[in-house]
């Protein structure tokens, strides 16, 4: 069984624009040292984190969406991944999904596999 932990992509959008497109509400923004992030609620999940480095232009780095929680269940349901992917389809590229197998092995799905989720 796969546990999906994050979805990443490239986009030139600001974090504010991403949070609005994805539907985070309410949302808080912050930055520190090398990273910037938006933390908010999306549907039934009040622990969604959109994060990336702010040392280079947004379009030159990967942006990642994951659940920011200390809970052992940090998985993201396929429906949530689909919703995020759908809301960013026309403004982002190079989608990847990262997670773990039930064996503990890490995996990465590339753009074509993300499209089939």
Listing DSSP states for the chain in one string gives -EEEEEEEEE----HHHHHHHHT-SSEEEEEETTEEEEEEEETTEEEEEEEEESSS-GGGS-EEEEE--SSS-----HHHHHHHHHHHTTT-EEEEEEEEETTS-EEEE-HHHHHT-
pLDDT at 115: 87
Residues 95 and 82 sit within 8 Å (Cβ to Cβ)? no
CA distance 35 to 24: 19
pLDDT confidence of 39, banded at 50, 70, 90?
very high
Least Cα distance to 6 among 54, 56, 69, 89 occurs for 69
User: What confidence tens digit (pLDDT) does each residue in 88-103 have?
Assistant: 999 999 999 999 998 9
**Chain-wide mean pLDDT for the chain?**
94
Residues 24 and 84 sit within 8 Å (Cβ to Cβ)? no
pLDDT at 93: 96
**pTM across the whole model:** 0.93
pLDDT surpassing 80 at residue 58: yes
* Residue 69: count of CB within 10 angstroms of its CB: 13
pLDDT at 29: 98
User: What confidence tens digit (pLDDT) does each residue in 13-33 have?
Assistant: 999 999 999 999 999 999 999
Least Cα distance to 110 among 100, 102, 98, 101 occurs for 98
Query: Residues 32-56: what's their mean pLDDT?
Result: 95
């Amino acid at each position: 069984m796969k546990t999906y932990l994050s979805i990443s992509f490239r986009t030139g959008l600001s974090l504010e624009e991403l949070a609005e497109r994805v539907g985070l509400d309410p949302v808080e923004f912050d930055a520190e040292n090398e990273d910037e992030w938006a933390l908010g609620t999306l549907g039934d999940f009040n622990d969604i984190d959109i994060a990336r480095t702010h040392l280079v232009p947004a379009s030159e780095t990967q942006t990642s969406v994951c659940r920011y929680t200390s809970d052992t269940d940090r998985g993201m349901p396929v429906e949530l991944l689909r919703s995020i992917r759908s809301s960013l389809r026309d403004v982002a590229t190079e989608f990847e999904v990262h997670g773990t197998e039930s064996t503990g092995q890490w995996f990465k799905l590339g753009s074509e596999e993300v499209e089939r989720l």
